[in-house]
Structure 1
Amino acid sequence: MKVAVTGADGFIGSHLVEALVRAGADVVAMAQYNSVGSWGWLEDLPADVLDGVEVRLGDLRDAGTTSSALAGASVVYHLGALIAVPYSFDAPRSYVETNVLGTQNVLEAVRRESSRLVHTSTSEVYGSALSVPISEDHPLQAQSPYAATKIAADKLVESYVAAYGVRAVTVRPFNTYGPRQSARAFIPAVMAQALAGRTTVRVGSLSPRRDLTFVADTVAAFRAVGELDDDPWNGATFNAGTGSSWSMGHVLHEIARVVGVHLDVDTDAERVRPPAAEVRHLECDASRLRAATGWEARSSLREGLEATRAWMAEPRHFGSYKPDLHQV
């Protein structure tokens, strides 16, 4: 089966491409165009996997390159997006253009092709939890421009299902982490500093709680949804998370144990979100996904951190991180 993945050059997208190829799919990987021809994290895939991938450089904001990349795909996994919450306060228009208009371009392409669409949302659309665990019926609360654009994209998918009969489902992952994640996120930012020998690490707030899902489990959720029978392709939304949450302070302690060091903390004001923008607590209710597909997260936090440390410690991977630079 021919499938297409947008955002294939990114963290989760590259892992999904690898899993789909290993499962026997014919994969078209849409990556962000750049003048040096970089394929992003796709270049980290083994050669035998890349042999099964057709890489197409383009831009979600451009309807032509998007339509061309997705042509002929039976299923489109739409992961392409601008994702960093802090940067969305600096460049909100970019997030509207990529996350909202880009999603519209994807929807028009799948509408013409009669493809099925697996659309990627985010737990950030729920804002700070009003109740936990968070089900798909929890109110949507935009506490950042990023979250607002993802809500808008989700609603666009909903409208294309209702108005045009597009066959689509939405996956809402909760805080995925693991190999290939950029240092804008808490775990790789702290781990990079620890692996570089820093005994005092610069961090933001340590009180927010997150449901941390290892990337292999998130990818398994995407695949499980993408392989559903016809009935659920009616705009259904599925949360994907572990059902447990941890404070960032606890996670920092676990990173120190995994790396084998003692870490002191220096709170960096630049890494602290404005109080009204900070999502305080995210904890997933994935019972709908479990009932529909049998999926459940299998990796413990310790196992996921161990796998992340082993990957990051390899010189060719660690060289892509800048431990002393705050990346938004």
Structure 2
Amino acid sequence: MKVLVTGAEGFIGSHLVEGLVKEGFEVKAFNLYNFSNSWGWLETLSKDTLKSVEIFSGDIRDPYGIKQAMKGCDSVFHLAALIAIPFSYHSPDTYVDTNIKGTLNVIQAAKELGINKVIHTSTSEVYGTAKYVPIDEDHPLQGQSPYSASKIGADQLALSFFASFGTPISVVRPFNTYGPRQSARAVIPTIITQIANGKKEIKLGKISPTRDFNFVKDTVRGFIAAHKSQKSIGEVINIGSNFEISVGDTALLIAELMGTQINIITDEDRLRPEKSEVERLWADNRKALNLLDWKPQYGGLDGFKRGLKETIEWFSSKENLSRYKADIYNL
């Protein structure tokens, strides 16, 4: 089976490409066209993995390019998106173009080409601050940032194509994924890279919000399970660990695992506007178990520690650490 992965050069996308190749899929990786012909994180994959990957450079905002990329493919994993919340505050138009219009381009092409299945990527940010926990798929959607609003729009557009045209679409909603290759814009790499560079005073934003961190290997397994299951069509499915921990406690746990003590400093530049901060996320993952037979292998505190150890080991490599700008706030 030949599959297209949009956003393949990114953090989750590159791990998904690896996972799909291991599962025996023929993969076409849709990579954002750029002047240097960079393939992003795909360039770090093994030569054996890349032998099974076809690179297609384009732009998700261009309907002609994405349709050309999808020709000859049986299914699509749509991950391409702008995801940085702070950047969405001052450049929201780019999020509409990329996340909403880009999604339209994918699902319209899928409809016209008769693609067998589209796995559309959502985010736990669409729930906003939890009104109840654990958060199931029926929880109200709350656009507390331009980013989350754009993802709500994209999700609803995808589901509308299933309702209107019968396009076989599944919406996979990962909670806060972490692991090797993640951007320093995310909180766990922010903490690890500061400590790995010898910092004792760690600059963070608000540390009281809680998150349901999901190790990237579990997220990839969730995507592949959704692809394999016909029960996922027309459904929204949470992929989360069902374990809640605060940002502050996460920082202290990482410091403990890295054998150091830290002092957390609040950096005003890293704070979200008060009403935009998502205070609590905690996934109900029962639907994933029931429909996909998926459950986290890195769940609970012990699983979180194992995932963090793998992540710390990767970031602590000099070669990998040198890719990150730990001394600045990565917008």
TM score, norm. by length of structure 2:
0.97
Task: Indicate whether 1:317 and 2:310 are aligned.
Answer: no
**Greater displacement, 258-267 / 207-216:** 258-267
RMSD: 0.8
Q: Normalization by structure 1: what TM-score? A: 0.98
Give the SS at the match of 2:241.
Answer: coil
AA matched with 1:252: A
Q: Distance in 2 between matches of 1:23 and 1:137?
A: 32
Aligned residue runs from structure 1 range 34-113, under 5 A = 34-113=34-113
CA contact (8 A) 2:232 2:292 kept: no
SS in 2 for 1:326: coil
In structure 1, runs of 5+ residues without a counterpart are: none
- Per the alignment, residue 277 of structure 2 pairs with 278
Are the counterparts in 2 of residues 5 and 29 from structure 1 also a CA contact under 8 Å?
A: yes
Q: Which position in structure 2 is the counterpart of 1:123?
A: 124
Amino acid at match of 1:296: K
Query: For 1:184 and 1:76, how far apart are their aligned partners in 2?
Result: 27
CA distance in 1, matches of 2:264, 2:148: 29
Cα distance per residue 1:266-325 (max 9 Å; x no partner): 110001111100000000011111001211111111011100011111122111101111
Residue in structure 2 matched with residue 22 of structure 1 by the alignment: 22
Alignment partners' CA distance in 1, 2:168 and 2:61: 22
Secondary structure at the counterpart of residue 276 of structure 2: coil
Which stretch has the larger CA shift, 155-164 or 280-289? 155-164
Which residue of the partner structure matches residue 2 of structure 1?
2
Structure 1 residue identity aligned to 2:71: A
Distance, in Å, in 2 between the alignment partners of 1:171 and 1:195 is 33
Q: Does the Cα contact within 8 Å between 1:238 and 1:289 map onto a contact in 2?
A: yes
Query: Paired residue for 1:308?
Result: 311
Deviation of the 1:29 alpha carbon: 0.4
Deviations 1:88-137 (A, max 9, x none): 00100000000000000001111122111000000000000000000000
**Alignment partner of 2:27: what SS?**
strand
SS in 2 for 1:276: helix
The amino acid that maps onto 1:39 is W
Q: Which residue is 1:326 aligned to?
A: 329
The answer to whether the Cα contact below 8 Å between 2:119 and 2:169 also exists between their aligned partners in 1 is yes
1:307 partner amino acid: E
Consecutive unaligned residues in structure 2, runs of 5 or more: none
- Report Cα offsets for 1:157-183 as digits up to 9, x if no partner: 111111111001100000000000000
- 1: distance between equivalents of 2:29 and 2:159? 25
Q: How many residues align?
A: 326
Q: Does the CA contact (< 8 Å) of 2:244 and 2:281 recur in 1?
A: yes
Aligned partner letter, 2:216? V
**1:222 Cα offset (Å):** 0.2
